[in-house]
A and B are shown apart, each in its own frame.
Chain A
Amino acid sequence: MPAETIGRTELTDVRYEHGGDDHVFVELAEEMSFDANFRAMAITQQIRERNLDGINEICPANASYLIQFDPETLHPDALIEELRELEESVELTDYRWDTRVIEIPVLYEDPWTEEALMDFRERHQDPDSTDLEYSARINGYESVEAFIEAHSGQPHMVTMMGFVPGLPFAFQMVPRDRQIEVPKYVAPRTHTPSRAIGYGGAFTAIYPVPGAGGYQLFGRTPVEVLDVEQELPGFEESLVFLDPGDIIKFRQIDREEYDAIRERVEAGTYEYTYEQTEFVPGEFFERPYEYNRELVEALE
């Protein structure tokens, strides 16, 4: 019987580490969990609100966070002391945040990522399968179609931004026994098409620009997640479209729709389908499937 709630994780072994003289890295847990991620987001939001002098960068990550600062203004030990206090005071049950539910259309098994993955077959665990066939099999799905259904059926939360500007790491909002987990390539590819949908560990990534990459390739989206010139609708305030805490719903599309959306993106007329909402961790933990349905229904 698969779990119907999100298992809670107690974070008992938080590590405070110095990154040279000007960074502090806090690893909330070695393993990924919503608890670790939500705490990383809650704590970093609190640090932002405290507006401490000397802090230059506040970066929440999947199960950790990173701070860069001027040690002349803020001694690393004083910072760590402040962070320890915050860690004790943050209660996730009191916590909620404004977010967006965003539809990202995906052409799964698209010709561009298929060409890329065939070019680098010798770097893959299973050179005789496609990335989707391999991922479906090792996760116990009877077909690629059923696997795609699982990946696109429930939403994913952006738990970290990084690697390159605009790239989201997204963690599917389902109990752990329903999470998809795949290895990265044995050796990274030197080429990945832009807008590829990849999967590594327990995370979906969307590659903003072409480049190297080690994630299993599932498909390609016609929409952009990075617009350096900030000319497209949706990029008025930032050159990246997504933020940590955003909720992504992948929607399967066919080639015809892909081309039609791509045409609108290139013409600068594509408007993202999204809704503002408030995310309440407590409710999500208790009844994830029902909660997800409500979130996604807002898009319709």
Chain B
Amino acid sequence: MSIEIRDGGLSTTVQDTGRFGQYHIGMPPSGAMDGFAHDVANALVGNPEGAATLECTYQGPTVEFRDSRVIAVTGPDMSPELNGEPIPLWEAVAVEAGDELAFGFATEGTRTYLAVSGGVDVPEIMGSRSTYTLIGLGGHEGRALEAGDSLALGESGDRSGRAGSAVEGSHRPSYGEDDPIRIVMGLCDYRLTEECKSAFLDAEWKVGAEADRVGYRLTDGIDIEFVEREQPFGAGPDPSNVVDLGYPVGSIQVPDEPIVVMRDAVTGGGYATVATVISPDRDRLAQRPTHGTVSFESVTVEEALAAREERSERLATIRKALE
């Protein structure tokens, strides 16, 4: 069976946990920008971790269901309504054939996830259903959803018994927060002066207008100062230039204003990279809207690993409670 898209919303794409093993040909992982909200949505409706959900950006879509399913909406509140009646977030909700789910705008945060029992069943490409719009690959025809699209769903059986199960309030992230985003300094941070490194960490940045699934440009912070050097052969003459190298997902490059590379990453290039957002905080950064505030806190790799483990444990606790 399927769901029918009546209105695509601002930019709604099919995403899962990502497409791995092809970064070396220039293929980014894509996948849910906020992996935590995506994973919890799947857990609520009883889907396996790898099932595809709809990632809604700023304003969600309007969809019509064609059979009985269990759905869950997680992430920032876009005021979801089922047949005109508000439905709760972070809670499994039963829907019937003919029901219509509509969303408004997010007032805090940017990306909301809609999971449907059975998962969105677009074809897998290189092991993933994620949409990568830049080259029109994966998802539904490689693009954001539009009115008139019909998406197949996987088999789910009767999961109506899950309706009403919900995630405890203490496990629901806050999307209005502006706590520091944790980063591990490194990569080519030898290019920055010591003063610049500390000023970078003290600065308050704004999310620029160019903030999408490819990258977040940050503005209104500080001017980057590079250590003077004779540019190495092959790098190019600008002090921000390095011999083209791989950009980790989450890495921060400094062409002038910093850019944080996100899930639809450009996989490499010739600008100095100076730090990497730790994996649990990539979820948080993905929820910062354009003109939102970002500041950074430098952590050690051990601290980053501990934060990652904390995120995994929280997900495990949520999953266990929903079994």
Q: Hey, which bits of chain A sit against chain B, CB under 8 A?
A: 15, 17-23, 25, 27, 29-33, 44, 56-66, 68, 71-72, 76, 160-167, 169, 171, 176, 179, 181, 183-184, 200-203, 208-209, 211, 226, 228, 238-240, 243-244
Q: In the complex, which of the residues A25, A71, A203 has the most CB atoms of chain B within 10 Å of its own CB atom?
A: A25
- Are A226 and B248 closer than 8 Å at their CB atoms? no
Query: Contact mask B230-254 → A, CB, 8 Å, 1/0?
Result: 0011111110011111111111000
Q: How far apart are the CA atoms of A30 and B227 in the complex, in Å?
A: 14
| A209 contacts across to B, CB distance below 8 A | 134-135
Asked if B203 lies at the interface with its beta carbon under 8 angstroms from chain A, I say no
The contact of B242 among A30, A66, A163, A226, by CB within 8 Å, is: A30
Q: In the complex, which of the residues A29, A68, A162, A163 has the most CB atoms of chain B within 10 Å of its own CB atom?
A: A162
In the complex, how many angstroms separate the beta carbon of B147 from the nearest chain A beta carbon?
24
The contact of B234 among A27, A31, A239, by CB within 8 Å, is: A31
Q: A163-B269, A184-B238 are in contact. List 20 more A-B contacts (CB 8 A).
A: A17-B188, A19-B251, A21-B307, A22-B248, A23-B249, A27-B188, A27-B245, A30-B232, A59-B23, A63-B234, A66-B245, A66-B247, A68-B249, A71-B305, A164-B266, A165-B22, A183-B237, A201-B243, A203-B244, A209-B134
- Are A161 and B24 closer than 8 Å at their CB atoms? yes
In the complex, how many angstroms separate the beta carbon of B89 from the nearest chain A beta carbon?
28
Q: How far apart are the CA atoms of A20 and B249 in the complex, in Å?
A: 9
Asked if B148 lies at the interface with its beta carbon under 8 angstroms from chain A, I say no
- Are B246 and A59 closer than 8 Å at their CB atoms? yes
- Are A59 and B186 closer than 8 Å at their CB atoms? no
Stretch at the interface among B33-41, B116-124, B274-282: B274-282
Q: How far apart are the CA atoms of A208 and B134 in the complex, in Å?
A: 11
In the complex, how many angstroms separate the beta carbon of B57 from the nearest chain A beta carbon?
21
Within 8 A of A (CB), among B246-286: 246-251, 266-270, 273, 276-279
Nearest to B235 among chain A residues (CB) is A201
- 25 residue pairs from A and B, CB less than 8 Å apart: A18-B184, A18-B276, A23-B251, A25-B245, A29-B232, A32-B235, A32-B243, A33-B233, A62-B243, A66-B23, A68-B23, A162-B244, A162-B269, A163-B244, A163-B267, A176-B233, A181-B233, A183-B237, A184-B270, A201-B234, A203-B244, A208-B135, A209-B135, A228-B136, A240-B25
| B135 contacts across to A, CB distance below 8 A | 164-165, 208-209, 226, 228
- Are B134 and A164 closer than 8 Å at their CB atoms? yes
| B308 contacts across to A, CB distance below 8 A | 21-22, 71
In the complex, how many angstroms separate the beta carbon of B268 from the nearest chain A beta carbon?
4
Asked if B187 lies at the interface with its beta carbon under 8 angstroms from chain A, I say yes
Q: Given A20-B276, A201-B236, are A59 and B267 neighbors across the interface (CB < 8 Å)? A: yes
In the complex, how many angstroms separate the beta carbon of A36 from the nearest chain B beta carbon?
8
The contact of B246 among A21, A64, A76, by CB within 8 Å, is: A64
In the complex, how many angstroms separate the beta carbon of B307 from the nearest chain A beta carbon?
8
Dominant secondary structure at the B interface: mixed
- Are A19 and B250 closer than 8 Å at their CB atoms? yes
The contact of A183 among B183, B184, B238, B246, by CB within 8 Å, is: B238
| B250 contacts across to A, CB distance below 8 A | 19-20, 23
Nearest to A203 among chain B residues (CB) is B244
- Are B279 and A22 closer than 8 Å at their CB atoms? yes
In the complex, how many angstroms separate the beta carbon of A193 from the nearest chain B beta carbon?
16
Q: How far apart are the CA atoms of A180 and B13 in the complex, in Å?
A: 43
Nearest to A242 among chain B residues (CB) is B25
- Are B238 and A66 closer than 8 Å at their CB atoms? no
| A30 contacts across to B, CB distance below 8 A | 232, 235, 242-243
Asked if B176 lies at the interface with its beta carbon under 8 angstroms from chain A, I say no
Q: How far apart are the CA atoms of A230 and B167 in the complex, in Å?
A: 43
Q: How far apart are the CA atoms of A15 and B235 in the complex, in Å?
A: 17
Nearest to B269 among chain A residues (CB) is A163
In the complex, how many angstroms separate the beta carbon of A69 from the nearest chain B beta carbon?
11
Nearest to A56 among chain B residues (CB) is B20
- Are A21 and B279 closer than 8 Å at their CB atoms? yes
